[in-house]
Amino acid sequence: MKKKNTRSNEISISKKPKIHKSEAEQAGRYNDGSHTIWSSAMERAEEVSANLSPSFLKPVQRSNVAGRFCVYLPKQFCDVHLPNHDDTIVLMDEDEREYLVKYVLLRNKLDGGWRSFSNVNKLMEGDVLVFHLIARCKFKVYVVRPQEVHGLIGPPNSVDPIYTDGTGNKRDKHGHSVPGSIRSSRSAVDFEDVKCFEDFQISVDGLILDSEIPRHLREKYHVLCCSQEMFLHDHLIEGFNSMLVIGIISETTSIADAIRAANLSTSLKQLKIWDKTLEALEELGMWVKFLRVRLRKLVRLACKSNEIVDSKKRRIAQLDDDYVSLKKTVLKAKVSIKGLEAEVEDLEVKKEKLSFEFKKLACAPW
């Protein structure tokens, strides 16, 4: 059975095929029976790509911006310019934001991470993308949109399209949010592919945050992630902006450093404050359980140490009380001794008198 061509809409710059009706409709041609609206998106995309080599065009289909959220690349282009194995592709948009996207060789498609690119750039059916290969596994992507006619992008009198963006939120044709569901974010690269710090990239839904985070902080976070063999931020609730994610990573790293620097003189109050902060981060989806386990062990040791110290302090207090009591006893004994010494002196005087009388009586005449 002949395999159905699922990528009939892919156009390579090296060879410009004719645009079929479905492609023309995607590029912006609509017919409602009385009005025909032509968009120059495809023509303008060809103008943009004219001096970009190597490059290819990709009209945006519904499957690229909803449902499975993936995009198929021209096989001929992939065979010549992309690796012959699954890899990670970097997409740079026109604002020079970078996204990590999984490239699947078997289907010549971009998968994980594409959702984020689609969401941030608010892609819709009818847009035309210009993929310009600027380095190995790195594309600069230009978005050429259909020209609006009387405020319409789609056919007149049609129902405004609603699509699901990269965070699982529903959006209208203008990119405005429609209430949707909350999902958890995922990194575009599996952590098992990270062999060293140079392979380590911090991304959320494919958006690379490395340029926003100081190297020393990324190095510390890399150590934490390696200890757990995973990206700690992988399950953060989606929808957080990059600054919030960076703040969460920074706070996690800061507390980890503080735990390492703690000693028995660190107050229990401070240890419990760190645990409360980690608990809040955990509720946001950050993987910090191993830090909380370490903190609880430290709290137990600190409590045990405090119990021993408190016990010794109580013993010292008891001995102090005994010492005070003994001092009072000694004082009383000294007073008693002085009294007895005075009595002995009196007796010695009396003894001398008695001795004189004794001698006198003994020597008296018979």
Every domain of the chain and the residues it spans: 11-178, 214-366
- Compute, in degrees rounded to 10, the torsion defined by CA atoms 123, 127, 132, 137: 40
**Assigned fold of 11-178:** At1g16640 B3 domain (2.40.330)
pLDDT of residue 194: 84
For residue 85, the 8-state DSSP code is S
Question: How confident is the chain (366 residues) per 10-residue block, as mean pLDDT?
Answer: 41 38 37 38 87 92 82 94 93 90 91 86 89 94 72 35 42 41 52 85 81 92 94 85 90 95 88 92 92 91 73 79 88 89 86 83 84
Which residue in 58, 72, 178, 37 sits closest to 125, CA to CA? 58
Q: What are phi and psi of 232, to 5 degrees?
A: -65, -25
pLDDT of residue 239: 75
Instruction: Evaluate whether 101 touches 89 at the Cβ level (below 8 Å).
Output: yes
Distances in Å between the Cα of 240 and the Cα atoms of 18, 116, 255 are 43, 12, 21
Distances in Å between the Cα of 42 and the Cα atoms of 19, 24, 56, 167, 344 are 9, 8, 12, 28, 128
Task: Tell me the three state secondary structure of residue 12.
Answer: strand
Q: How far is residue 70's CA from residue 114's CA, in Å, rounded to a whole number?
A: 6
Distances in Å between the Cα of 142 and the Cα atoms of 32, 111, 133, 176, 199 are 30, 19, 11, 21, 27
Q: What is the percent of the chain with per-residue pLDDT over 70, rounded to a whole number? A: 75
Q: How far is residue 284's CA from residue 106's CA, in Å, rounded to a whole number?
A: 36
By the 10 Å C-beta count (0-12 exposed, 13-18 middle, 19+ buried), 294 is classed as middle
pLDDT of residue 232: 93
pLDDT of residue 163: 41
Structure tokens that stand for 243 in this block:
């600054």
The tens digit of pLDDT for each residue in 123-172 reads 988 889 999 999 999 999 999 988 643 333 333 333 344 444 443 444 44
The tens digit of pLDDT for each residue in 257-280 reads 999 999 888 888 899 899 999 999
